Amino acid sequence: MALGFAGTQILLLLAILLSAIGVPGQQASHPKTKQAPPSMGVATGAAHAAIKDSHSRPITAGGFVDDAPVVFSDITKQAGLEKFLHRSGSPDKKTILETVGSGVALLDYDNDGWLDIYLLNGSTIAALKGKETAPRAMLFHNNHDGTFSEVTEKAGVAKPTLGIWCGRGDYDNDGWPDIYVANYGKNRLYHNNHDGTFTDVAEKAGVALGGWSDRTYLG
Ligand SMILES: [Ca+2]
Ligand SMILES: [Ca+2]
């Protein structure tokens, strides 16, 4: 088929247009380049060396806490609590009474906003038979500076017992926490006198019981 000059120009123009826009189905197939996901964090600089405590245990890693150990330090003596020695029978445990006890009550007995500590004690068979001095409970007043002072005698909460359990609560709803102690023997209900002292009112309240008590809840 013969084309005139005008027809040749039209074909040339079509060829140029097709080359410019490309022909469907003939585009080169290029694999898409895998792109990294957008970052969700903010770089804060190079990693930091782990910080270690006085025992060379790592506290931090890379500047952040990472599997750091939970470290407790024994500050019993520093806090003034070393006077209390818990007794629970003899080491060979010949009776079941020597395998139980005792308890602790955390209470703000003087309402100064700082928790104080009442530590119940067990006993020994010899003490129960009157052959040796019975271990006693102790009440420690919080000095607001990480230390405690023993106030057991002043507070009147040291009656000898074989303590099994103790609880704190305001049984008479006067705003001052009281202490109930479950014992092998008569129980104690220490009423808070609002002046740093307590009075055992278990007999009067009818909760002295006797025998073997367990699991006191006072709230
Ligand atoms: Ca207190
Ligand atoms: Ca009370």
| 170-217 confidence digits (pLDDT tens) | 999 999 999 999 988 889 999 999 999 999 999 999 988 877 777 666
Q: Of 160, 168, 171, which is closest to residue 204 (Cα–Cα)?
A: 171
| DSSP-based three-state secondary structure for 64 | strand
Q: Please, which residues have CB less than 5 A from ligand 2, an ion?
A: 170, 172, 174, 176, 178, 192
| 134-163 confidence digits (pLDDT tens) | 889 999 999 999 999 999 999 999 887 788
d(CA 188, CA 216): 11
Residue 140 CA, ligand 1 centroid: distance in Å: 9
Residue 91 CA, ligand 1 centroid: distance in Å: 35
| 78-89 confidence digits (pLDDT tens) | 999 999 998 888
d(CA 198, CA 10): 115
Alpha helices (H) in the chain, listed in sequence order: 5-21, 76-79, 125-128, 152-155, 202-205
Residue 217 CA, ligand 2 centroid: distance in Å: 14
Higher pLDDT, 100 or 155: 155
Rounded to the nearest integer, the mean pLDDT of the chain is 79
Q: Does residue 46 register a pLDDT over 80?
A: no
Residues in the chain: 219
- Overall average pLDDT of the 40-53 stretch: 63
Residue 106 CA, ligand 2 centroid: distance in Å: 15
CB 155 within 8 A of CB 109: yes
Report the percentage of the chain scoring pLDDT > 70. 69
Q: Does residue 6 register a pLDDT over 70?
A: no
Ligand nearest to the CA of 171: 2
Ligand nearest to the CA of 174: 2
Q: Please, which residues have CB less than 5 A from ligand 1, an ion?
A: 108, 110, 112, 114, 116, 142
d(CA 195, CA 64): 49
